[in-house]
Amino acid sequence: MPDADNSPSAVQTVVVVGGGSAGWLAACRLAARSVQTGSRLTVRLVESTNVPSVGVGEGTWPTMRNTLRKIGIDETTFIRSCDAALKQGARFVGWTDGSADDAYYHPLNPPAGAGDIDLAPYWLGRPIAGASADAASFADWVDYQAALCDAGLAPKTITAPEYGGHANYAYHLDAGKFATLLRDHAVNSLGVEHVLGDVVRANQADNGDISDVELADGRRLAGDLFVDCSGFAALLIGGVYDVPFRSCRDILFADRALAMQIPYQTEHDPIACHTISTAQDAGWIWDIGLWTRRGVGHVYSSAHTSDDEAEAALRRYAGPAAEQLPVRRITFEGGHRERFWQNNCVAIGLSAGFIEPLEASALMLIETSLDALVDRLPQTRSTMDAVARQFNATFQHHWQRIIEFLKLHYVITQRRDTAFWRDNVAAASIPDGLQERLDLWTHHSPAPQDFAHAREVFSWPSYQYVLHGMRFGGSYRGQPATAEGSSAAALVARNARVRAELVSKMPRHRDLLRAVREHGLQRV
């Protein structure tokens, strides 16, 4: 254990407290690094058999492809083991004005020419010479992925290599099966020590560091670094260090969720290759397609509707297929810890914070946290405090910006039909930074220079897709006569050709998943 005077004691043992997706991802990433670097790091995970995982985090980002590669799980095994499907973005229904044709896409592909030319001003000033203006939506005009989603087509073919495709993609997955796959891989392939037991207390050294965690049966697990993946309980970051929790309830009002699992009626039912987020009177409903079922849930504000009304809305959305299905109820407080790394304890997952899953940020935040931890894993206790300060500054920024990006979806709505939507546009609920950028984006397209942080989780392409998807007005316009205007026309025309080609040749999503399950993908 590190000395109280911060002498350079080596970090040799990491104890992960809690299982689930967060805990087992942490264990896999740390153990894989040890194997790859030959550092002989001991990774030990302790989990309770009495505390169920929340288990409703079914949406991911494309980052998950890199994470799976890093820990050594092939894509075929992952898809088969987790009933996974391929996700190409999100479709938001009813968010702009609630009319019958109110829908837009936030695809995972960046706009054509991203980094070289900004097509947004030219989209606002359509048509431009030489370019097809048939596609009315921003997502269709600057990219082809929305068309693949509309047609129910996969982003890759069976001949594509693992983790590669014609379009960017992430996954929808069964969270329980994902945790099981990670556990088996961690223990059987990466040498993680799995301990079953209930943590009842953490013992501390003179310098405030955690020296060990004590289990109900008297066993004590010592470590040099402790990763708190204990979920909402936050046994270490909250229970030991009492790091304050910063609520964002004044910005994002949702604090409840109802979830159900709906089987497909037949084995031939189409599987959506995007998340569907449908606005409701006091929140929104997610609809996620997996291999054997859909995961459907209602996120809502208890200040704006009752639990019974929320469940009734969910069942109306699901239709007759959900009449006898049970509903799981989840209560949460949106927000995050003021610090995520305290002494020799770092919180990852729900122990660090949680906000409504509007843009599937939960698993992404776990991955991003683990990237920061593993890539800068302190070798000694004497370097840990500096790494912790960097980590805390980075993730305070990330959480602030994620909250602002989710709030964007509510702020620019034209809906005023219920108190929930009216309250969401109230000036008091809009963060100052977001309001400042909205004022700017009335006259300038979102651009890289609007985001000073080197690695933003949501950058300018995401803002453009939401702003223009929801018809947020812009006074900026492109000038078709310029050389750049000609380049814009060429990009848009090329996008139209690629769209037509891919729509004609890509397989249906269910057909591809069936082929992967039967034959597998090509190993890289």
* pLDDT confidence tier of residue 4, bands split at 50, 70 and 90: very low
Distance in Å from the first CA to the final CA of the chain: 42
Range 19-35 average pLDDT: 96
pLDDT of 6 strictly over 60: no
pLDDT at 7: 47
pLDDT: is 198 or 321 the higher one?
Answer: 198
pLDDT of 140 strictly over 60: yes
Range 454-469 average pLDDT: 92
pLDDT at 5: 39
Q: 514: Cβ–Cβ under 8 A, 6 or more apart, which residues?
A: none
Lowest mean pLDDT among 47-51, 431-435, 463-467: 47-51
3-state secondary structure 400-426: HHHHHHHHHHHHCCCCCCCHHHHHHCC
Token pair 């048939």: residue? 134
pLDDT of 286 strictly over 70: yes
pLDDT of 58 strictly over 60: yes
pLDDT of 1 strictly over 70: no
pLDDT: is 18 or 524 the higher one?
Answer: 18
In terms of Cβ atoms closer than 10 Å to its own Cβ (0-12, 13-18, 19+), residue 435 is middle
pLDDT of 8 strictly over 60: no
What confidence tens digit (pLDDT) does each residue in 220-254 have?
999 999 999 999 999 999 999 999 999 999 999 99
What is the reported pTM? Answer: 0.94
What confidence tens digit (pLDDT) does each residue in 319-336 have?
998 888 999 999 999 999
DSSP sequence for 349-404: GGGTEE---TT-HHHHHHHHHHHHHHHT--SBGGGHHHHHHHHHHHHHHHHHHHHH
**Residue 170 C-beta-side C-alpha neighbours within 13 Å:** 24
Range 51-68 average pLDDT: 84
Q: 46: Cβ–Cβ under 8 A, 6 or more apart, which residues?
A: 15, 16, 17, 18, 195, 196, 197, 199, 213, 215, 221
* pLDDT confidence tier of residue 13, bands split at 50, 70 and 90: very high
pLDDT of 465 strictly over 70: yes
pLDDT of 3 strictly over 80: no
pLDDT at 39: 87
Mean pLDDT of the chain: 93
Residue 255 tokens read as: 């604090």
pLDDT at 135: 54
pLDDT of 2 strictly over 60: no
Number of neighbours of residue 321 by Cβ within 10 angstroms: 15
pLDDT at 483: 61
* pLDDT confidence tier of residue 282, bands split at 50, 70 and 90: very high
> Does residue 71 contact residue 29 with C-beta atoms inside 8 Å?
yes
Range 480-501 average pLDDT: 84
pLDDT of 56 strictly over 90: no
Give the C-alpha separation, 58 to 137, whole Å: 28
Q: Which helix (H) or strand (E) holds 33?
A: helix 20-37
pLDDT at 384: 97
Range 446-475 average pLDDT: 88
pLDDT at 473: 76
38 strand-pairing partners: none
Range 455-480 average pLDDT: 85
* pLDDT confidence tier of residue 464, bands split at 50, 70 and 90: very high
What confidence tens digit (pLDDT) does each residue in 76-97 have?
999 999 999 999 999 999 999 9
pLDDT of 393 strictly over 90: yes
Range 63-80 average pLDDT: 98
**DSSP, res 109:** S
pLDDT of 296 strictly over 50: yes
Range 183-201 average pLDDT: 97
pLDDT of 52 strictly over 90: no
